[in-house]
Each structure stands twice: as C-alpha cells, then as structure tokens.
Amino acid sequence: MALVSIHGLGKAYQQGEVEVQALQDIHLEIQEGEFSALVGPSGSGKTTLLNLIGGLDRPTTGTLSLNGQDIATLGESKLSAYRLFNIGFVFQAYNLVPVLSALENVEFVMVLQGRPAAECQARALRYLERVGLKDLAHRRPKALSGGQQQRLAVARALAGEPRLVLADEPTANLDTENALGLLDLMERLNQEEGITFLFSTHDPRVVAKARRVVTLKDGRINRESHPGAGHGLN
C-alpha cells in the first residue's frame, strides 16, 4: 500500500464571484521512503497540493489517503491529530517560535504529542546533533543564521517521528552553501532513517537531488521524471 494515495483530487477557491480551480483531477501515489519533488511555474498548484497532503486544507473533490485513511473525511480534531502524529513540516519562512530556545522549538511537537519530558529532551538533543546545532541548543531563533534556522526547522519536523516530511521551498532563503548542506542532510536522513520527503520547489538544486520529480502545470500533473530522465523545471 502506498503511503499517500490521491485519486481525482481537485481544489477550487472562490474569488469574489469567480471560482478558481487550483487543482484538477490529480492522481498520485507516494511510496514509503521516497525523496520526491513537486515542480512547476508559480500558480501551478504545488503549494496547494502540499497543503492538502499535510491536512492544512481540504480538497473540493476526490480522495486523499495516508495508509488507507481518507483524511478528507476527518473532523477538525482528528485532522489535527493526523498532522501532529504523521506529518512534519518545513516551511520557507521557518515558522519557529521566537520566544523558545532551539531545544524547546524541537521539543514543542513532542510535548504536544504527550511524550514524557525526558524523552522529549533526549530526542530533541539527538536531532539537534544530527543537524549540527547541539552546541546552540539554548539560543533563540533570532540568534541563529538563516541556514541554522532552517536546519532547526528540519530537526523540529523530524523529532516527532512523522511518516512524511513536507518541505515547501525549503532552500528559497538560503545561499548555495547552506542550501546544499541542508539538502545533503535531508538526503542522509532519508537514506539512513527511511523518512519520506516531498518538496515543493523552484530550486534546481532540489530538483537535482530528487529521485522523482512531478511537474504541475495549470493545476494538473503535466509529467513525471526520474533520475537520468532529463528532468527539469519547465
């Protein structure tokens, strides 16, 4: 069974009296352990699809299942639990809690999950070490560089043991050195721990790392490509 299974998915938004179709007839399966990217021009539906998979929005039509559970049918409380226990998010804007230390930011999701305090701290320190920030555990986000904040966001996303990590333009604010370092880190975590990653990106550096590339155009899947297939951004 696929980790994520999407059939006939559509999403429409109302803009005044006009209905805008952001996604149409999406069919997609994501297997456990994939390291994949959604690409396409601005407005093609990449972020909308990522938000639907992450339970941040609801589809207008079709089904979207994680391990056989159709999340479109879940009530708000169950949908929140779905996000908390199954999805890790890495946002372009980091979305860190400014008043919390790096350690506390990583612990935050685990605290919400109800894990014991000792386990939260141990797992947080483990992932801070994995992303090279253990020595900065007690600094707040504003005392970290952009690259460090993005690595902190990755540690936070992973500490709660999600089935799937969704990364929306994670390298957009990073220079080449930091971007490549972050991608190498996520690739290692994918290979060593089997964590599934799905990116939404315009960045050719991300595309070059992805082992599967799904191209969206005008709200539809335009094509797919794989290593050696000459995939690109158009």
- The single-letter DSSP state of residue 184 is H
Contact 90, 165 (CB under 8 A): yes
If 0-12 CB within 10 Å is exposed, 13-18 middle and 19+ buried, where does residue 71 land? buried
For residues 230 and 98, what is the distance between their CA atoms, to the nearest angstrom? 41
Among the residues of 87-175, which ranges form H helices?
102-113, 117-130, 146-159
The model carries a pTM of 0.90
Residue 50 domain-assigned?
yes
Residue 39 domain-assigned?
yes
Residue 234 domain-assigned?
no
Residue 148 domain-assigned?
yes
Token pair of 40, please?
Answer: 């396409």
Nearest alpha carbon to residue 81 among 34, 127, 114 = 114
Question: What is the CB neighbour count within 10 angstroms for residue 58?
Answer: 14
For residues 216 and 42, what is the distance between their CA atoms, to the nearest angstrom? 10
Residue 83 domain-assigned?
yes
Q: Please report the pLDDT score of residue 36 as a whole number.
A: 96
Residue 42 domain-assigned?
yes
Domain that holds residue 79: 4-225
Contact 130, 155 (CB under 8 A): yes
Give the H/E segment covering residue 210: none
Residue type, 190: N
Q: Strand 212-217 and strand 35-39: pairing?
A: parallel
Question: What is the CB neighbour count within 10 angstroms for residue 125?
Answer: 18
From first to last of its 234 residues, what are the pLDDT tens digits of the chain? 799 999 999 999 888 888 889 999 999 999 999 999 999 998 899 999 999 999 999 999 999 998 888 988 889 999 999 999 999 999 888 889 999 999 999 999 999 999 999 999 999 999 999 889 999 999 999 999 988 998 999 999 999 999 999 999 888 878 888 888 889 988 988 998 889 999 999 899 999 999 999 999 999 999 998 864 444 444
Residue 196 domain-assigned?
yes
Q: Please report the pLDDT score of residue 80 as a whole number.
A: 92
Nearest alpha carbon to residue 87 among 97, 74, 99, 100 = 74
Give the 3-state secondary structure of residue 75.
coil
Task: Count how many domains the chain has.
Answer: 1
Residue 232 domain-assigned?
no
Q: Please report the pLDDT score of residue 18 as a whole number.
A: 87
Domain of 61: which CATH number?
A: 3.40.50.300
Q: Please report the pLDDT score of residue 17 as a whole number.
A: 86
